[in-house]
Amino acid sequence: MEIPYTVKARPDTGLWNAKIGVWLFLASEVMLFGGLFSGYIFMRLGAEPGTWPHGLLNVPVGTLNTAILILSSVTVVFAWAALKMRNFRRYQLCMGTTIFCALLFLGIKLGYEWPVKFHHFGADIKRESLVKYEEYLGNEHREKEGLTPRLTISGYLIDEHGHTLHQADYERLRAEGAKEIRVKLDAANADPNNPKNDSPRFLPVPMSDKIATIATEDIQYASMYLPRRSSYFATYYTITGLHGIHVIGGIIVFIYFMLPVSARLYRKDPEHLANRVEVAGLFWHFVDLVWIFAFPIFYLL
Amino acid sequence: MSHPQESHVPAPSGGSHEAPHDAEHFHCHTRLYVGVGVALLICTGLTVGISYIHFGSEAMNIFMGLLLATFKAALVAAIFMHLKGERKDIFRFMIPTMIFLFALIGLCILAIKDHIHF
């Protein structure tokens, strides 16, 4: 027995079933991501001035990832159009390109962006100790310029030999009661009075060679840039992580559409395969749509 | 529009197979898809560019960035997701969804900006 209305429209709705189904699913996804974005808005608006981080993510890499996802949206709709034109070879090429772009997006995010942040360290200085670290924070200059105070010293946590340490090493140091830590500084903390460091720049600035020694008793809170670090990173990893899970889901479905079982369906009923690809494409465009909002709110604004 | 049948490219043979759509019709659409893709890439560049311009306040900077993001999202929804020209049945539940989404976001903003004072 054939499942009805996979190609022919239902007389009551005027649409084939999967199309209504996927749009209903996307409506639920809007509320899923909408809830998370609302949480982001709540935490960002409630943050103390100067505490919401800016410029901690790599904007050129994020822009490249956005371009890759846009390209994949174009190729998936080309794949659908190719099926409608009964051009199976072009369909395979476009679908293959879509899968490649999706894997590239994931590879950049999980293989580069996230690991870089896992090794990046930030120490929030206690308010009463800010003056002690003025040479790394530059708050007199920032006050003159009408900017929010800089409260964090960031860079790479290092040991006495200059080797980069990880989160587990920092926790061990704390547990052992270490009196001070050494941080190889980001450019903004190495030269905080330079007007070029007043706000984030497009191209990442290379690490400096300057090293700061911070007394642990002056630290309000410190960690690598993990989800626990701050509300900003908690929402960043949650939203981009859930988005990444959706990308993986899309990849799995697209790979299924490249298997011989889909070629058999094309032979039997090409319009049915075209409809399946259209429905998966709708999901993919929604994933792209979420990223269109996630990219500026985390990387730019 | 017909293509030479190679042995590994399956030829549609039966079932509820409908006649292929007019190739010219879809060639027009593919030109549109390329155009929208290019527009999205340009808008992405603009989004990055305007984020380094100060529009007077942080709220205004955020507004400008999100305005451009909304325009991009509208292009994706209208053209790639075929909402332009889609049947009204889909709008019957997508519009209430968007209303609920904006209500949720609005409530979060109100909760912070106009909270209860004790």
Domain boundaries, chain B: 26-113
A4 lies in some domain: no
Stronger pLDDT, B19 or A69, i.e. the higher one: A69
pLDDT tens digits, A138-175: 999 999 998 889 999 999 999 989 899 999 999 999 99
Residues A278 and A202 in one domain: no
Pick from A224, A246, A269: which residue ends a domain? A224
Average confidence (pLDDT) over A66-77:
97
A257: nearest Cα among A94, A20, A84, A86: A94
Residues A103 and A150 in one domain: no
Phi, psi for A122 (deg, rounded to 5) = -140, 135
Please state the separation of Cα A100 from the chain's center in Å. Answer: 19
DSSP letter, residue A218:
G
**Confidence at B19, pLDDT banded by 50, 70, 90:** very low
DSSP notation for A126-170: PGGGGGGGHHHH-HHHHHHTTPPPP-EEEEEEE-TT-PBP-HHHH
CA–CA distance, A229 with A53 (Å, rounded to integer):
11
Residues A43 and A86 in one domain: yes
> Looking at the complex, does the CB of residue B51 fall below 8 Å from at least one CB of chain A?
yes
Residues A22 and A68 in one domain: yes
**Domain limits for position A293:** 17-118+232-300
DSSP letter, residue A229:
G
For residue A97, the domain's CATH number is: 1.20.120.80
CA–CA distance, A112 with A288 (Å, rounded to integer):
20
Residues A37 and A98 in one domain: yes
Q: Of the ranges A94-108, A117-131, B75-89, which one carries the lowest mean pLDDT score?
A: B75-89
Distance from CA of B118 to the nearest CA of A (A): 17
A174 lies in some domain: yes
> Looking at the complex, does the CB of residue B64 fall below 8 Å from at least one CB of chain A?
no
Number of domains in chain A: 2
Stronger pLDDT, B45 or A54, i.e. the higher one: B45
Average confidence (pLDDT) over B17-44:
77
**Residue A50's pLDDT is what?**
76
Pick from A171, A198, A224: which residue ends a domain? A224
Chain B window 31-50: which residues touch A at a Cβ cutoff of 8 Å?
33-34, 36-37, 40-41, 44-45, 47-48
DSSP letter, residue A48:
P
| E-strand stretches of chain A | 121-125, 152-158, 180-185, 211-215, 219-224
Residues A137 and A213 in one domain: yes
